[in-house]
Amino acid sequence: MEGTFHDEWPDHDRLAYDHHLVEEGIRIRFTGLLKCTNELCGEVVSFSGTGIPQEEYFDDPQRGYDYKWVTHFFPKFFNPPIDLFPLWQFDLPHEVSKAVIASFKLFWCDLPSCISKLRLTVERILDDKEIPTAPPRGRRHNLHQRIDIFKEQVDDDLGDFLEAIKWLGNEGTHENNAEKHEVMDAFDMIEHVFEHLYRIQRDQARLRAARDQINERNRRN
């Protein structure tokens, strides 16, 4: 939203910049507001993050090779979280929705925790599909065993996607490690699973009736 962006330097960094003593580690703090342009929405989102001044070199026709300082801004937080893919098209159970929205929130600031929340999303999907957490007698199933049951009872191919997200989630949860491109792949995978399990179904009977009425009216002419 125009007029809402604000950035501020710590005093010691501003002093260094003014005296051309910029070094690695200088961070500018910024905040602002965004507003959805869809008239049916109009949601307002606050954001904040850090900016980093960096030298960018270029060829100057008069002075030759030169440089200038350019600040690159990196958002770290959005409230409410921005959907990284459109959730409105899915009829998600509450606990599944809650877990995936938490992953959206963490994507900007903590990739290992973000992928851990996607792993939790997998667990919540299995809960929704009533995949047992333990056999009638015996020890509790781990997540991998539950995914194997999902493959047998629901869909083998979708189960492979859930398994891949689980492996990435394990790295985030147990090793505090996550690569951004793999997290993006995991979001694509979970969206694919949602497409098959939770896609909002149109009223097929109503659509067929409207189709037949239009076709019948025009075929008579």
75 and 89 share a domain? no
| Mean pLDDT score of the chain | 88
What is the pLDDT, as a whole number, of residue 21? 47
91 and 70 share a domain? no
Kindly tell me the number of DSSP H helices and DSSP E strands found in the chain.
7, 4
106 and 6 share a domain? no
| Cα 205 from Cα 212, distance rounded (Å) | 11
The domain boundary, picked from 32, 63, 80, lies at 80
Sole residue written with tokens 């500018």: 28
In single-letter form, the type of residue at position 107 comes to F
Residue 58, in any domain of the structure: yes
Q: Which residues contact 88 (CB under 8 A, 6 or more apart)?
A: none
Q: Which residues contact 205 (CB under 8 A, 6 or more apart)?
A: none
Q: Which residues contact 175 (CB under 8 A, 6 or more apart)?
A: 112
Residue 51, in any domain of the structure: yes
The domain boundary, picked from 65, 80, 95, lies at 80
103 and 199 share a domain? yes
Mean pLDDT: which of 7-11, 135-139, 184-188 is highest? 184-188
Q: What is the CATH number of the domain that holds 133?
A: 1.20.120
177: exposed, middle or buried (Cβ count in 10 Å: 0-12, 13-18, 19+): middle
Q: 94: part of which helix (H) or strand (E)?
A: helix 94-107
30 and 114 share a domain? no
> Which of 37-51, 159-173, 199-213 shows the lowest mean pLDDT across its residues?
199-213
Q: Give the domain range for residue 67.
A: 1-80
16 and 71 share a domain? yes
- In contact, 75 and 108? CB cutoff 8 Å: yes
Number of domains in the chain: 2
Classify the phi-psi angles of 33: left when phi > 0, otherwise alpha if psi is within -120 to 50, otherwise beta: beta
Alpha-carbon Rg for the chain, nearest whole angstrom, is 25
Residue 215, in any domain of the structure: no
| Cα 32 from Cα 21, distance rounded (Å) | 28
89 and 75 share a domain? no
Residue 202, in any domain of the structure: yes
111 and 202 share a domain? yes
Residue 23 has pLDDT above 60, yes or no: no
- Residues 84-126: pLDDT tens digits? 999 999 999 999 999 999 999 999 999 999 999 999 999 999 9
What is the pLDDT, as a whole number, of residue 73? 92
The domain boundary, picked from 63, 80, 97, lies at 80
Token readout for 51 is: 């900016």
Task: Please give the residue that has the higher pLDDT: either 190 or 206.
Answer: 190
CA quadruple 16, 19, 24, 27: dihedral, nearest 10? 50
Residue 140 DSSP code: P
Residue 216, in any domain of the structure: no
Residue 218, in any domain of the structure: no
Residue 19 has pLDDT above 50, yes or no: no
33 and 109 share a domain? no
188 and 97 share a domain? yes
Global model pTM greater than 0.75:
yes
Average pLDDT over residues 14-27: 56
Residue 217, in any domain of the structure: no
